[in-house]
Amino acid sequence: MSGVLDDIKTVLGFYEALGIERIPFEISAPALNPTVKKGGHTAKVKAGALGALKEEMDECTGCKLSSGRKSIVFGEGNPDASLMFIGEGPGKEEDIEARPFVGEAGQLLTSLIAKMGLKREDVYIGNIVKCRPPGNRDPEEEEIAACLPFIKRQIEIISPRVIMTLGRISSQTLISTRIPISRLRGSFYAYEGIPVMPTFHPAYLLRNRKDKHLVWADALKVLEKLGMPLPPLKPGRGPSK
Ligand code: URA
């Protein structure tokens, strides 16, 4: 694998030397399932680029969160995903497992993804900050600023067709606004031309189950935007858990 990564680094270095700032991926017409795969042959290149970025993060000490972490939670999923979910930052379980959204809130997200007719492996799941804030506090502005280039580069590599931001921090950060999440959710915004649907964080839903139908309504808009079939669900039902 490291041979492949070295090859990709060489190719990317070549583009960089030519002054090309964006990787010239060919975004071909949607394949059979337009939501799951966009370009087939680009997936390997994107996986390599994500691998190289992950290696670049190794041992990162860009902010004080690095001193308390067990793991850097880089993100996971389909490198060529049409749909990307972006959360806030790892919690306790994520820090232990080095995987995003694997705790209780993560199970709720997994169930939302399933209700949307998808699997976790079909989408890409990332976070604004990659190291666990102590006691699961909100990440601070400097911590967000230090980590932001990484999620931006993940988005650039994956080039999703739609992004769903989970909760206040990721929504406000990506959309560059202070508007509260309760007002942001439910409408599309744009990040670098990519439609962004802000919605409530799954951890909020664990405490406010009555609002699950709102997240489900947001998810339906996302499916519609992606041109995916809308799953038949009983009215008012959101992701279960
Ligand atoms: N909450 C987040 O925002 N991200 C995770 O990965 C887990 C919980």
Per-residue pLDDT of the chain (241 residues; tens, 9 = 90+): 445 556 556 555 655 655 555 554 443 333 334 444 555 568 999 999 999 999 999 999 999 999 999 999 999 999 999 999 999 999 999 999 999 999 999 999 999 999 999 999 999 999 999 999 999 999 999 999 999 999 999 999 999 999 999 999 999 999 999 999 999 999 999 999 999 999 999 999 999 999 999 999 999 999 999 999 998 766 555 555 5
Cα 140 vs. chain centroid, distance in angstroms? 19
Distance from residue 137's CA to the centre of ligand 1 (Å):
12
Cβ atoms within 10 Å of 147's Cβ, excluding its own: 25
pLDDT of the residue at 17: 57
Angle at 166 between CA 164 and CA 171, to 5 degrees: 80
Interhelix angle 42-57/141-158, nearest 10 degrees: 160
Choose which residue among 76, 127, 204 to substitute to test ligand 1 binding: the one with the highest number of ligand atoms within 8 A of its C-beta: 127
Q: Closest ligand 1 atom, CA of 166?
A: 3
| Sign of the dihedral defined by the CA atoms of residues 76, 218, 196, 44, in that order | positive
Distance from residue 166's CA to the centre of ligand 1 (Å):
9
Cα 102 vs. chain centroid, distance in angstroms? 14
Choose which residue among 94, 144, 173 to substitute to test ligand 1 binding: the one with the highest number of ligand atoms within 8 A of its C-beta: 94
Cα 61 vs. chain centroid, distance in angstroms? 22
Between CA 14 and CA 17 the distance in angstroms is 5
The boundaries of every CATH 3.40.470.10 domain in the chain are 68-226
Which residues contact ligand 1 via a Cβ below 6 A? 87-91, 94, 100-101, 103, 105-106, 127, 203
HSE-CB at 223 with a 13 A cutoff on CA atoms is 18
Between CA 46 and CA 158 the distance in angstroms is 7
Angle at 216 between CA 212 and CA 221, to 5 degrees: 150
Distance from residue 142's CA to the centre of ligand 1 (Å):
19
Distance from residue 110's CA to the centre of ligand 1 (Å):
12
| CATH T-level fold of 68-226 | Uracil-DNA Glycosylase, subunit E (3.40.470)
Q: Is 135 left (phi over 0), alpha (psi -120 to 50) or beta?
A: left
Q: Is 165 left (phi over 0), alpha (psi -120 to 50) or beta?
A: beta
pLDDT of the residue at 232: 79
84 contacts 163 by C-beta, under 8 angstroms: yes
Residue with tokens 């699950």: 212
Distance from residue 127's CA to the centre of ligand 1 (Å):
7
pLDDT of the residue at 29: 35
Distance from residue 91's CA to the centre of ligand 1 (Å):
6
